[in-house]
Structure 1
Amino acid sequence: MFITVRYGANCQELVNLQCRVLILTAHLKRKCQCATEDCIDLVDEAGALMNLNKVENPASEFASKYLQERQRYILVRVTREQSTEATCYEPLLENLGKHHPDLADRLQKLSANTPMREQWRKGSLQRRAQPKKSSEPKSTPR
């Protein structure tokens, strides 16, 4: 019972569905180097939002209840405007429009806040998943 989650520069992660939703989302945040306070979710390749961030008890509910095995999902960041309660769904897969043009359009339509949607379309909101950098100092050649 596995799924494939796509993110970053065409990266993908094979994930076991026999885990709690909380564990799944924490694992995906670490993999794509999101901040722990970021809200993330998954969309399938048809553009259906899985609403994992709305699961009432993510610490006890299994991901298999919400996700279909052997499916491919795209990781998205969910941003909510406090003042307007509008929601923006930002794909964490680079070049989404190139790989899934219909899905890019679907995410734009899901994003209710027009100014945020414009920023998303221009790419100013996208944070790219980067490989972890070593904290060790680099040696300089002599």
Structure 2
Amino acid sequence: MFITVRYGANCQETVNLQCRVLILTAHLKRKCQCRPEDCIDLLDETGTLMNLSKAENPASEFASKYLQERKCYILIRVIRGESFEATCYESLLENLGKHYPDLADRLQQLSANTQIRDQWKRGSSQRRAQPLTSTPARPRPISQSKKSSELKGTPR
């Protein structure tokens, strides 16, 4: 049960699916010379994101749960913004548009979709924070002594 992962200057790596997601991603990070703190994921040739970076327990889940044997995948970097900022996806295969013209557009769409989704989430959380019905604030009644002092121009 193997897959092919494409990255770099038209490099490819054949990897076994019978390993944990954590081991697979660590191996791919070393191969493509990513930093250990980088978040990576895979995109199949149809443009579907495999969501390895969202695995609930990457140390115990097998990669075969997410990936199909004998398929080719493109290595991508997942760049998550601070708190509500959008997630962006960057191909780690150089000249992605040359090898897979449709996938370059797909990565842009994925990034744009997360921006739209994040904006919607922000908007809905702001809407939830507001009261359902709002009534204008009522003016406070002014006491009789304050009215008379204001009319006379004398300070209280």
Please give the TM-score of this superposition, normalised by the length of structure 1: 0.78
Q: Name the structure 1 match of 2:137.
A: none
Question: Identity, % of aligned pairs?
Answer: 82
State the alpha-carbon separation in 2 of the partners of residues 84 and 90 from structure 1.
19
Q: Name the structure 2 match of 1:84.
A: 84
Structure 1 segment 2-41 matched on structure 2, within 5 A: 2-41=2-41
State the alpha-carbon separation in 2 of the partners of residues 60 and 8 from structure 1.
28
State the alpha-carbon separation in 2 of the partners of residues 29 and 73 from structure 1.
15
What is the CA-CA distance between 1:44 and the residue it aligns to? Answer: 0.1
Say whether 1:97 aligns with 2:102. no
Number of residue pairs matched? Answer: 114
What is the CA-CA distance between 1:83 and the residue it aligns to? Answer: 4.4
State the alpha-carbon separation in 2 of the partners of residues 111 and 102 from structure 1.
15
State the alpha-carbon separation in 1 of the partners of residues 11 and 61 from structure 2.
27
CA RMSD of aligned residues (A): 1.2
Aligned in 2, Cα 1:98/1:60: closer, same or farther, shift over 3 Å?
Answer: same
Please give the TM-score of this superposition, normalised by the length of structure 2: 0.71
What is the CA-CA distance between 1:81 and the residue it aligns to? Answer: 1.0
Q: Name the structure 1 match of 2:58.
A: 58
Task: Structure 1: give runs of 5+ residues left out of the alignment.
Answer: 115-142
Higher RCO (CA-CA < 8 Å; seq separation 6+) = 1
Larger radius of gyration: 2
